[in-house]
Structure 1
């Protein structure tokens, strides 16, 4: 008969490994592409935001997650509880690590306008041009603060004064974009918590089976309930 507790643990453990692989792939790809020269405004805004993300921490966390998954394999191959307890402690540490990354991203949403202002003034005119064209705005707070870049969207001071500054549309774009990312990260924390619970259940199940086996052996019954 299939051990349902063990089967649930295996399923969640597989999801846990998938989570680590996804985080590793995302972090590596973004880190290798976010410094490329953008060709349009939304791409520029997205890549500039990516540069503020804790991508290196994401890579470290993903590798840690995959290493924990490897630790769970000997825990599954033996009825002993030592490896499983060790894996449980590591999963707790991983959940805290992932939560910190999610909180770091969430904090960015609380100061998106400030973050974009620092980004804006550090960009060359070509990038500011892309952002102004994409979001139909001139300057950052307004056309004079910081001053707009002359382009097709903002051809003159008079025309630029009629358009809003880029801070509002950029902040709106950034909040929506980062919300999706940190929500996904918090979802990964949920997987960590589910695996912690599955680990606790499996430990309890193994302890009970060990107790029943001991009782059977005391009664003279041979064999194992595992």
Structure 2
């Protein structure tokens, strides 16, 4: 018989899998709100990927309940569950790695996105961070409350390669926000991997234990039900 301790660990990781799926779905829904900096940092594709991943993890949890309640000699459900968990692990790895790789080239990656923003959004960012232009004073700059004609002229005269002038341009302040957000995203995503792999490991243990119990039952039956002692 499968020990209570083993089943307890299996149940713990299964509940954690459900929690991971729910967190991913909530993230996808909540971060669709209208927020200029968040919308710049997190694309609709990212939110859709989080939603798909969350649905997959919740669906895996639901399937796992049906698999674990099968009779002791029926292990096909748990075998299928393990294949599903492998697919979940691949999805988690791909999504987490995509966000991580994107975060390595933020200054250039977000430049393309920054340029595509509406002028009103760039005005908001300039006034919020008290900066003018992205890489330099003439790069995608918009007249705003902070970026007056004189301020734009002053910023445009600064040397972008001088670290002392970094705070005058928007790239440093924008990527400081995006870096924190992206780090949180791929850290949480990679954090789902131990849960998926842990459940996979304990499912394998349950399968082996159930097969072992069935094998001893058959041996016991051949001995006339007298046991080994």
Show the counterpart of 1:153. Answer: 146
Larger displacement relative to structure 2 (150-159 or 95-104): 150-159
Counterpart mapping for 1:85-124 below 5 A: 85-124=79-118
1:100 deviates by 0.5
Deviant stretches of 4+, over 4 Å = none
**TM-score (normalised: structure 2):** 0.85
Say if 1:139 and 1:149, in contact at 8 Å, map to a contact too: yes
Partner of 1:184: 188
List alignment gaps of at least 5 residues for structure 1: 39-43
CA contact (8 A) 1:99 1:186 kept: yes
Determine the C-alpha separation between the residues in 2 that align with 1:140 and 1:222: 82
Q: Find the residue that maps to 1:215 and give its secondary structure.
A: helix
Matched with 1:57 is 49
Displacement of 1:172: 2.3
Q: Alignment length, in residue pairs?
A: 213
Give the conservation status (yes or no) of the 8 Å contact 2:99–2:186: yes
- Asked if the contact 2:129–2:170 (Cα under 8 Å) also holds between the matched residues in 1, the reply is yes
Contact 1:143 1:160 in 2 (8 A): yes
CA contact (8 A) 1:5 1:205 kept: no
C-alpha deviations, 1:53-103, integer Å up to 9, x for none? Answer: 522122222212222112111221122211000101001101101111111
- The question of whether the paired residues in 1 share the 8 Å contact of 2:129 and 2:173 is answered with yes
| TM-score, normalised with respect to structure 1 | 0.86
- Cα RMSD (Å): 2.0
The aligned counterpart of 2:133 is: 139
The offset of 1:185, in angstroms, is: 0.1
The answer to which of 117-126 and 186-195 deviates more is: 117-126
